[in-house]
Amino acid sequence: MVDPEAQPLPFLLLDGLQADREADGPEGVDEDMIVTQSQTNFICPITQLEMKKPVKNKVCGHTYEEEAIVRMIESKHRRKKKACCPKIGCGHADVRMCDLVQDEALRRAIESHNKKRHRHSE
């Protein structure tokens, strides 16, 4: 039987915070999840680093650091293989250079986020 008033468990946080964060109340947990989810979108699935020059794959919609995906495509093509999208769970099996476009909106969002973060640390 499901309790309709049951609260979601706090251990579902994406950034590995401990369940003892429940003392912050549900507002703190939601805020942590939102920040973590947005920062996750800034991380390249290849390098696992924050992107500086993000490019979007027009076919599957995933975004990567430009230099990393270009090197990956070139490396696969030198071995006469197709480059698969490196995003976990994506089935796109033939990423091509012509599929990649600069993601200016994401680049600006990352820069804006970093400026805000820098201001808060001063």
Residue 1: pLDDT above 70?
Answer: no
Contact indicator for 110, 96 with CB cutoff of 8 Å: no
How far apart, in whole angstroms, are the C-alpha atoms of residue 1 and residue 21?
27
pLDDT of 105 strictly over 50: yes
What the chain holds in terms of domains, given with CATH numbers, is 10-40 (no CATH), 54-121 (3.30.40.10)
* pLDDT given at position 120: 67
CB 46 within 8 A of CB 86: yes
The model's pLDDT over 25-46, given as tens digits with 9 standing for 90+, comes to 444 445 444 444 555 689 999 9
Burial class (CB in 10 A: 0-12, 13-18, 19+), 93: exposed
Residue 8, pLDDT above cutoff 90:
no
**Residue whose C-alpha is closest to residue 42's, from 50, 33, 54, 53:** 50
7 versus 107: the higher-pLDDT residue is 107
Query: Tens digits of per-residue pLDDT, 50-102?
Result: 999 999 999 999 999 999 999 999 999 999 999 999 999 999 999 999 999 99
Q: How far lies 40's CA from each of 36, 48, 63, 84, 96, in Å?
A: 6, 9, 11, 21, 24
pLDDT tens digits, one per residue of 63-76: 999 999 999 999 99
